[in-house]
Amino acid sequence: MADTPLLQVEDLAVHFRLPLPVAERAMGRKPKVLKAVDGVSFAIGKGVTLSVVGESGCGKSTVARLIAGLYRPTRGRVAIDGHDVTAARDRTRAIRRRLTMIFQDPQASLNPRWRVRDIIAEPIRAFGIAGDARETSRQVDGLLEQVGLAGADGEKYPHEFSGGQRQRISIARALASKPDLILCDEPTSALDVSVQAQILNLMRDLQDELGLTYLFISHDLAVVHHMSDRIAVMYLGRFVEVAEAAALFASPQHPYTRLLLETIPDLGMTKRDREAVAGEVPSPIDPPGGCAFHPRCPHADERCRTERPDLRPSQSGAGGGAVACHAVEEGRLPPAPAGEAADG
């Protein structure tokens, strides 16, 4: 571990106030509050991939957006390479250059009226990275080739490309400002598997080449397993488990992590019957008290219903794992199901 992690997040939270109908406001009702992210802490060292997994509505994309500065956090602190950037005014150009984002839908995140060349050149111009127009153009060509496109593709418009190629353009744009940290919000969820494999391979190659750090947001555990060094499992605005990737899959601790691992359809499980866990993710507007997972948890007891568990280092914490679960802490959880063999 380096002395200063590249990205450090402490107790980050954002609460959205939901608009209330006029009648209810007149009656003096308090607006409801949606706690999209409610106290999340983590750090990512340089060159490492941390993934955040969870089901829709758990707040994983909001975490990425908070770090990107797209929302103002209600509380907490974000630091990049030791510089506090929680407040917008602290996000200097020098800092903003170092952090970029790749979105899920390249169709929506690329301007349809701009040529690809201009889309990729924009960060270069905005941050004054290239001296002149010719240097800008040279860098754009270099970026296009780096992501597996040809320099001539720069003259085209986004709609002339397939989904996978468009995501390559997004990646080229994200690389244009020579960032250290890339926030990847479901970068392959809109793609077909064979194209997904190309993009995932490209992202890993770029990481090796440029020493990039990724915060990888995904709902797909298999993809996350493939990409990550560390994984954080998120449920209703909070991390419930954080662990090294291999450790998480080999011995999942939190009951929710176990449920997720249990439910992903996998190629190896032909015609297998399994116990689907009942229940659904509750609404984050009115989350259950105590541990948010208790209504679905087979191991919940009185304490789980009333007291919210904090993320604590797990005793089997070989990989520096941490779990937020009373049952794990008290040791009343059955040992983790024999997971797939951990591989080095």
Partner 1 sequence: MNGGAARALLDVRDLKVGLPTRRGPLAILNGVDLHVKEGEVLGVVGESGAGKSITGLAVIGLLEPPARIDGGEVWFDGARIDGLSGDELRRIRGARIGVIFQDPLTSLNPLYTIGFQLTETIRTHMDLGADAAEKRAVELLDEVGIPAAASRLGAYPHEFSGGMRQRVVIALALCANPRLIIADEPTTALDVSIQAQIIGVLKRLCREHGTAVMLITHDMGVIAETADRVAVMYAGRVIEDGTVAEVVRNASHPYSHGLMGSIPTIGARIGRLPQIRGSMPRVGAVPAGCAFAPRCPEVRDLCRAERPVMMDGKATSAACWQYSPRWSDTAAAAGGAAADG
Strand duo 230-235 + 83-84: pairing? unpaired
CA 293-298-300 angle, 5° bins? 60
Indicate left, alpha or beta for 115 from its phi (over 0: left) and psi (-120 to 50: alpha).
beta
- Shortest Å, Cβ 68 to partner 1: 24
Residue number with CB closer to partner 1 (33 or 202): 202
Residue number with CB closer to partner 1 (23 or 341): 341
The footprint of partner 1 (CB under 8 A) covers 55-56, 162, 164-165, 192-198, 200-201, 204, 219, 221-223, 225-226, 245-246, 249, 259-274, 276-278, 280-281, 340-341, 343
Residue number with CB closer to partner 1 (209 or 273): 273
177 vs 140: CA distance, rounded Å? 11
Residue number with CB closer to partner 1 (117 or 166): 166
- Shortest Å, Cβ 225 to partner 1: 5
CB of 123 within 8 A of CB of 173? yes
Amino acid letter, 209: E
- Shortest Å, Cβ 222 to partner 1: 4
**Cβ-based neighbour number of residue 251 at 10 Å:** 21
Residue number with CB closer to partner 1 (42 or 249): 249
- Shortest Å, Cβ 247 to partner 1: 12
- Shortest Å, Cβ 271 to partner 1: 7
Cβ partners under 8 Å of residue 166, min gap 6: 106, 107, 110, 158
